């Protein structure tokens, strides 16, 4: 039972969710959220919230033709430290794993995405009539920086992506690059693109 200025827990669940946003259909069979907080540790000034954590789980969810069996995540906020961990999306038995750490006082962050075993995607971004972008994607992305406003943020990272297009499943395209950004300007450095024995280097801003 919740107590004023004590520990409070809340759980919410919903079934068969479907929503049209623009041209996109977003859906989920089940959504469950569980959270807990200690009101005695909340701040006296806006935004007040502190010492809160929660778990999110979705099953059979997706958007249009992209369907995932499940998504799980744990998020917590304590004394300006925001943490997202145990973030896992499962697609046909393969998983996308991710994490995010941010300090709202220092405006710093680091995040990572790892797709060790390729996940099957019907298309990338938006379906095109002229080109089939679907295939099997694996990736490793690491980013860290400062600032939460796009025009003021800066940081560094590394991106490595391998995609096997449905049109050429035996020729994986491997792309790897270092990335930096300052005040909205993004630069790719020491980039390489490989397709079997062929390769090319690139850098751009």
Contact between 124 and 134 under an 8 Å Cβ cutoff? The reply is yes
pLDDT at 141: 97
pLDDT at 78 over 80: yes
Residue 66: pLDDT band with limits 50, 70, 90:
confident
Distance between CA atoms of 74 and 60, rounded to whole angstroms? 19
Residue 1: pLDDT band with limits 50, 70, 90:
very low
Distance between CA atoms of 81 and 163, rounded to whole angstroms? 35
Number of other CB atoms surrounding residue 64 within 10 Å: 14
pLDDT at 64: 83
Counting residues of the chain whose pLDDT is more than 90, the rounded percentage is 54
Report the relative pairing of strands 185-195 and 198-204 from DSSP bridges. antiparallel
Among 103, 114, 107, 120, smallest CA distance to 159 is for 114
pLDDT (tens digit per residue) in 29-46: 999 999 888 777 777 766
pLDDT at 148 over 50: yes
Residue 142, strand partner residues: 112, 158
pLDDT at 147 over 60: yes
Taking the whole predicted model, whether its pTM rises above 0.75 is answered as: yes
Contact between 133 and 125 under an 8 Å Cβ cutoff? The reply is yes
Euclidean distance between the first and the last CA atom of the chain, given in angstroms as a whole number: 55
The number of CA neighbours under 13 Å toward the Cβ of 73 is 16
pLDDT (tens digit per residue) in 86-131: 999 999 999 999 999 999 889 999 999 999 999 998 887 777 777 8
Residue 54: pLDDT band with limits 50, 70, 90:
very high
């Amino acid at each position: 039972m919740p107590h004023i200025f004590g520990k409070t827990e809340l759980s919410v669940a919903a079934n068969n969710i479907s929503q049209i946003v623009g041209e996109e259909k977003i859906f989920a069979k089940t959504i469950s959220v569980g959270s807990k907080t200690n009101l005695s540790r909340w701040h006296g000034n806006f935004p007040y919230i502190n010492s809160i954590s929660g778990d999110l789980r979705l099953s059979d969810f997706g958007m249009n033709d992209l369907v995932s069996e499940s998504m799980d995540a744990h998020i917590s906020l304590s004394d300006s430290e925001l943490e997202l961990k145990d973030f896992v999306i499962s697609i046909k038995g393969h998983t996308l794993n991710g994490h995010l750490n941010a300090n709202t006082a220092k405006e710093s962050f680091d995040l990572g995405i790892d797709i060790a075993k390729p996940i099957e995607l019907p298309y990338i971004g938006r379906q095109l009539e002229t080109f089939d972008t679907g295939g099997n994607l694996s990736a490793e992305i690491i980013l860290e920086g400062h600032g939460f406003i796009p025009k003021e943020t800066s940081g560094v990272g590394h991106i490595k992506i391998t995609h096997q297009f449905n049109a050429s499943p035996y020729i994986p395209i491997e792309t790897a690059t270092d990335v930096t950004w300052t005040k909205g300007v993004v630069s790719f450095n020491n980039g390489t693109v490989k397709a079997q024995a062929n390769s090319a280097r690139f850098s751009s801003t």
